[in-house]
Amino acid sequence: MEKKIAVLNGDGIGPEVTAQSIKVLNAVAQQYGHIFHYKEALVGADAIDKTGTALPSETIDICLDSDAVLFGAVGHPKYDSDPSAKVRPEQALFGLRQALGLFANIRPVITYSGLQHLSPFKASHLEGVDIVIFRELTGGIYFGEKHTSDDGNKASDECVYTRPEIERIAHLAFKLAQGRKKKVTLLDKSNVLETSRLWRKVVQDIAAQYPDVTAEYMYVDNAAVQVILNPKQFDVILTENMFGDIISDEASVLNGSMGMLPSASVGNGTALFEPIHGTFPKAAGKDIANPIGSILSAALMLEYFGLKEEAQAIRDAIDWTLQHNFVTKDIDPMNFYFTSTIGDLVSEYVLGKIPGAVK
């Protein structure tokens, strides 16, 4: 198979974790006889420094011309402390999500037995947790009209949803649930918000088309508790943009580290794959960041290309590193390995260079 992959490293630890994914993708290409063409493009604070804008039009063109996008992270502390900054690295993400029509952000949350001894939760609490979060990504409060009054003392962010925006992601969630434990839980705040009431109504309509799937409805504040208290009750979670942003960060605690979680953003054309973590500025350039969120995102990319066996080989490799305590500093601060070492080990496993590795 031959594929074009746009590589958007971005800021902070983005470049170093993405480099490990490329290493692993190259191992997959070599082992399974595929050809991946990479094209790097500027994004985030890096792009602002070099071009004055967070998302140069050339970057959008490169993404549109690719089969998939591998994304690192964007953001820089100098913008966080300046609320009046007009140009911000995060604008690149919103621009890309819109330009590529990435309306569904899919975040799988599983737990690893190799990490359970380091978790604040009991092993029995974590065993068998397997959740997929569908976060709507191009609507809601993130994309509504924003306003700040001239005197700067009043601000508003509008939250808008339409029926088709809800229907298209709901279909994806119900279809995935059909091949899993057949349950979709919609998280909303329909006791308060009109947009949530629309979500509930539309999802009820869609649920009727999937009689084999159980639909459940839960207020998001309760869900914030349930995800920690009884995570095994969830199969597929479906929710709007901002609730999904928050609940997926929270759910990552189950897994051990935010650095472990991958995501796939899909829509009308080119899909984008990125770890859910941010730029982790304190770790940037030190070779200590956890590359697994990015490497698992690359595995999701391969699955999206239809390369199931290859994606599984990466997952097996990651299981193996965790079982043998080859972990980064976020997971075990006393006994850790470097970012690049994890990338090397996963690649070697995929290449069958580690005794006991498949093939």
Residues with catalytic roles: 142, 189, 221, 245, 249
Q: What is the smallest separation between the CB atom of 139 and Mn ion, expressed in angstroms? A: 16
Determine if 250 is a binding residue for ligand IPM (CB under 6 A). Answer: no
Helix spans in the chain (H): 14-32, 44-51, 57-64, 77-80, 91-99, 123-126, 163-178, 194-207, 220-229, 241-255, 292-304, 308-323, 339-350
315 is in an annotated binding site: no
d(CA 312, CA 301): 12
Q: What is the smallest separation between the CB atom of 106 and ligand IPM, expressed in angstroms? A: 12
319 is in an annotated binding site: no
**Residue with Cβ nearer ligand IPM (114 or 267):** 267
Out of 93, 100, 115, 264, point to the residue binding ligand IPM (CB under 6 A): 93
Residues found in the chain: 359
97 is in an annotated binding site: yes
Out of 136, 245, 310, 330, point to the residue binding ligand IPM (CB under 6 A): 245
107 is in an annotated binding site: yes
Determine if 90 is a binding residue for ligand IPM (CB under 6 A). Answer: yes
Q: What is the smallest separation between the CB atom of 71 and ligand IPM, expressed in angstroms? A: 9
- Token pair 């070697």 is found at 348
Q: Spell 244-272 as b/e; 16+ CB within 10 A means b.
A: bbebbeebbbbbbbbbbbbbbbbbeebbb
Cβ contact 316:280 at 8 Å: no
235 is in an annotated binding site: no
245 is in an annotated binding site: yes
Written as six digits, the tokens of 39 are 């094209």
**Residue with Cβ nearer ligand IPM (236 or 276):** 276
Q: What is the smallest separation between the CB atom of 331 and Mn ion, expressed in angstroms? A: 20
Determine if 47 is a binding residue for ligand IPM (CB under 6 A). Answer: no
Residues in touch with Mn ion (CB under 5 A): 245
**Residue with Cβ nearer ligand IPM (93 or 260):** 93
Q: How many residues bind ligand IPM (CB under 6 A)?
A: 6
First-to-last CA distance in the chain?
Answer: 19
Using CB under 6 A as the binding rule, the residues of this chain from 257 to 296 that contact ligand IPM are 276, 278
Q: What is the DSSP letter of 80?
A: H
Q: What type of residue sits at position 278?
A: G
- Token pair 């965790």 is found at 322
d(CA 41, CA 39): 7
Footprint on this chain of ligand IPM (rule: CB under 6 A): 75, 90, 93, 245, 276, 278
Write out the binding residues: 97, 107, 135, 221, 245, 249
